[in-house]
Amino acid sequence: MSPASAVTAESLPLTGIRVIEFSHMVMGPSCGMILADLGAEVIKVEPRGRGDKTRYLPGSGSGLFPAFNRNKKSVQLDIAEARDRETALSLIESADVLLENFRVGKMESMGYGYEELSARNPGLVYCSLKGFLPGPYGRRAALDEVVQMLGGLAYMTGPPGQPLRAGASVNDIMGGMFGVIGVLSALRLRERTGRGQVVNSALFENNAFLVGTHMAQAQLTDEPLRPMPTRMATWAVYDIFRDRHGSQIFVAAVSDGQWRDLCEEFGLDDLLADPDLDDNQGRVDQRDRIHRTLQSALSALDLDAIEAKCTRRGLPVARVNTPADLTADEHLVVSGALASTGLPPPSEAEDGPRIDLPLLPLTLDGRRLGLRSDVPAPGEHNAELRDHLGVDRPDGPDTTATDNPEEF
């Protein structure tokens, strides 16, 4: 367990807040995990049997459940079935927040809409995470890919004619974060009014927020928008170069001072002496020449030497890593930014694996918000929560009619 886990639940800001999470995939679980990391008691409601289908996704989906479900409790209920309805309603009546990210109308069709639930629990904050906020697209199915294509992010990411999905679920995760912001705001307002409210966050509107700078550029300039790989340069040195072995490294110089430091550190005396390169625009105009000269100098060095030289002069520099490299990253390891997180065992005869996962990228009073409990097994907290509520129903087969896990 990470040293950051020394932070106790009692010292966390959301201690005493109960969240009932009806969600799957990324957007809902990431919202719930942030609330859990902040100290809330997050109770994840999963279908009977094997639980949330996200647990069993193959390939690039295999990391979704482990990454977004620590610090939670798991109970299994057939929320569409009469036998578990009272248990589900009792949980919701005891809650401060309900969190859901199923397709539009699904919760309402099962009798778990805000109007019905707020009549039983007027202080309930109902956080609904969707593909789109209400409007002409409001009932469309959405994925991160859908809104990245529709919202221009894929256009800006890939080379011309080849729109490319960003390499992480940026809208799902950031949409979950905006859900958290909305929940915290609604809880603060409830302190004054005593009443909860509906909080909505959506993938498409989040994506529009992400590309807002490009939207502004399109309206303020006469230049057509160009994808990031071919964008008009803002600085002459803001690119990926190669070392003597062909390994990649990003180097930048974004001020006149950094330009001088770069030239002095890498022996670019001819460039430094050229008056045409004294200002940023002059350097941008001769970007190709500068690149050729700088690349020639970097080709004589290895990554360690380039990194050391840039760091010594305060120049922006970064090796081109893969996510797999981050589990051994010196800064993340030494600073306690990773938590060794246990996963449910594949069988009773085996221990579950432990994997290193990033904690929230913030500190409170200098402390990380750490791991308090591992990723739960399906229904791991059934007895605890049902005993607490005075409800006891035997487990049965998985009869829940679950949604397509990719439909939001």
DSSP 312-328: HTT--EEE---GGGGGG
What's 251's domain CATH number? 3.30.1540.10
| Domain annotation covers residue 39 | yes
Residue with tokens 């974060």: 177
Q: What is the dihedral of CA 279, 281, 286, 291, to 10 degrees?
A: 80
* Whether residues 51 and 121 fall in one domain: yes
Q: Say what the pLDDT of residue 405 is.
A: 36
Residue 219 lies inside a defined structural domain of this protein: no
Per-residue pLDDT at 387: 74
Does position 372 have pLDDT exceeding 80, yes or no? yes
With respect to residue 225, please indicate whether it lies within any of the assigned structural domains. Answer: no
pLDDT(245) > 50: yes
The residues annotated with a catalytic role in the active site are: 172
Does any domain span residue 30?
yes
What is the structure's pLDDT at 5?
Answer: 44
Quick check: 163 and 157 in contact, CB under 8 A?
Answer: yes
What's 98's domain CATH number? 3.40.50.10540
Same domain, 131 and 179: yes
Ramachandran bin of 235, using left for φ above 0, alpha for ψ from -120 to 50, beta for the remaining angles: beta
Domain contains 285: yes
Q: How far is CA 22 from the centre of its chain?
A: 18
pLDDT, averaged across the chain = 92
pLDDT by residue (tens digit) across 133-147?
999 999 999 999 999
Rounded to whole angstroms, how far apart are CA atoms 384 and 216? 52
Q: How confident is the model at residue 348 (pLDDT cuts 50, 70, 90)?
A: confident
Residue 104, pLDDT > 80, answer yes
- Mean pLDDT on 76-96: 93
Q: Which domain holds residue 304?
A: 237-319
Contact 210, 153 (CB under 8 A): yes
Count CB-CB contacts under 10 A for residue 397.
8
Question: DSSP secondary structure string, 102-151?
Answer: SSTTHHHHTT--HHHHHHH-TT-EEEEEESS-SSTTTT----HHHHHHHT
pLDDT digit string (tens) for 115-133?
A: 999 999 999 999 999 999 9
In a domain, residue 9? The reply is no
Half-sphere exposure of 99 (CA within 13 A, CB side): 37
Angle at 221 between CA 215 and CA 224, to 5 degrees: 70
Give residue-wise pLDDT tens across range 159-204. Answer: 999 999 999 999 999 999 999 999 999 999 999 999 999 999 999 9
> Radius of gyration over alpha carbons of the chain, in Å?
25
Sequence-separated (6 or more) residues with CB below 8 Å from residue 273: none
Torsion sign over Cα 387, 391, 397, 399: negative
Which amino acid is present at 189?
L
Predicted pLDDT at 346: 82
Assess whether pLDDT exceeds 70 at residue 395. no
Residue 307 corresponds to which tokens in the numbers above? 């990194």
Residue 388: pLDDT over 90: no
Q: From CA 27, how far away is CA 29, in angstroms rounded?
A: 6
Domain count, the chain: 2
pLDDT surpasses 70 at 397: no
Residue-wise pLDDT for 39-53, tens only, equals: 999 999 999 999 999
Q: What is the pLDDT of residue 222?
A: 85
